[in-house]
Amino acid sequence: MRQRDKEKSADSFSILALDDDLIITSTIQAYFKRSGFNVDTESDPIKAVERIRSGAYDILLLDYLMTPICGDKVVERIREFNMDLYIILLTGHKSVAPPIKTIRELDIQGYYEKSDRFDQLEMLIESSCKSIRQLRIIREYQAELDGAYKLLENSHYEAIRAMRLMVDAKDQYTRGHSDRVAFYSEQIALRLGYSKSYCEKIRIAGIFHDVGKLGISDDILLKESRLLDEEYEVIKTHPGKGAEILSSVSHFKEIIPAVRHHHERYDGGGYPDGLREFDIPEQARIIAVADSFDAMNSSRRYRKKLDMERTIGQLEEGRGTQFDPVIVDAFLELLTKSGILEEAETIDMVDIF
């Protein structure tokens, strides 16, 4: 082994020699310590497995014939928790060594027939060290790349978060609307018995459901009177714009369908794609109910908010036409809960993660 490689080995690699022949392990230890390796020895295969579990070994030199378990069983146990360890199988009895197929299946990297000379074993260890070094470099690059992607994604997220706040800041009449829609949507999902992770996703989708309105002209978005037909067609583009904005952050991948389709109607008369019934993503169906309720229960430039009796009447009237009837029923049950409307008014979801 070249001197430079010896120096690198001393700094970077550790070996465990496992053999029930103490002469073999002590000889291996002495030989490879001279090459600069940190070499430990073990004669008990059961203890060796536990040492590897708790230690930081790079290479295992493994005798095949041992008691109480042979080398192949040792490898099976190690591979249950460690797939990175390089293993070189040692045997003085070629006839009883495992077949090549078994060696491959156990992910054993080398095979060495015991002899008085360690030239071949040294070459196997040197080859293993090169592979380990390359793997370390790849992992370092991957960690750096993952960090760069995370920074980029975080910057996109911060930009989108700022956009969402800008939408609310534009219009005092809709300020807090997204937070309340997120709250109602999460409560509906909880009422329907969904998991914590599902409810979290729908909460985030509710927060960002109107982010596409950033791409709508203020002349239309802030118009004091009712919209003309052509202006309403422009408004109808905001779900698609929102999906496009969110697509720049992989974290939002799962909520994009909910944002894109929260204005679809259960009877197929909605937008942007005219989906109907269960073709509409369920998160979008939930947000549709929450969004419509909060819109009716809030004042706008061109109208005052509806009273609760009329708002509930509108939801009931839309069962099976505009809205999924199961979701409407779940939400109406929620409205009987004391204090839910007051709780919604105090929600602040600026920091959502």
Cβ pair 346, 305 in contact under 8 A: no
Tell me, yes or no, whether 247 lies in a domain. yes
Q: Which domain holds residue 71?
A: 3-140
> Is 125 found in the same domain as 185?
no
> Is 179 found in the same domain as 118?
no
Exposure of 11 by Cβ count < 10 A (0-12 exposed, 13-18 middle, 19+ buried)? exposed
pLDDT in tens, the chain (353 residues): 445 444 444 457 899 999 988 999 999 999 998 888 889 999 999 999 999 998 889 999 999 888 899 888 999 999 999 988 999 988 876 666 666 777 777 788 887 888 777 888 888 898 888 888 888 888 888 888 777 777 777 776 677 777 767 766 766 656 688 889 999 999 999 999 999 999 989 999 998 899 898 888 888 888 877 888 899 999 999 999 999 988 877 778 999 999 999 999 999 999 999 999 999 999 999 999 999 999 898 777 667 888 888 999 999 999 999 999 999 999 999 888 766 777 766 665 544 44
Cβ pair 54, 42 in contact under 8 A: no
The domain that holds 56 is classified in CATH as 3.40.50.2300
> Is 293 found in the same domain as 218?
yes
- pLDDT at site 301: 64
> Is 178 found in the same domain as 136?
no
The domain that holds 298 is classified in CATH as 1.10.3210.10
> Is 193 found in the same domain as 91?
no
> Is 190 found in the same domain as 111?
no
> Is 297 found in the same domain as 341?
yes
> Is 197 found in the same domain as 58?
no
- Count how many domains the chain has: 2
319 forms beta bridges with: 323
Identify whether 213 is a catalytic site residue: yes
Rounded to an integer, what distance in angstroms lies between the CA atom of residue 319 and that of residue 288?
Answer: 12
Which of 73, 196, 213, 236 is labelled catalytic?
213
Tell me, yes or no, whether 148 lies in a domain. no
pTM (two decimals): 0.58
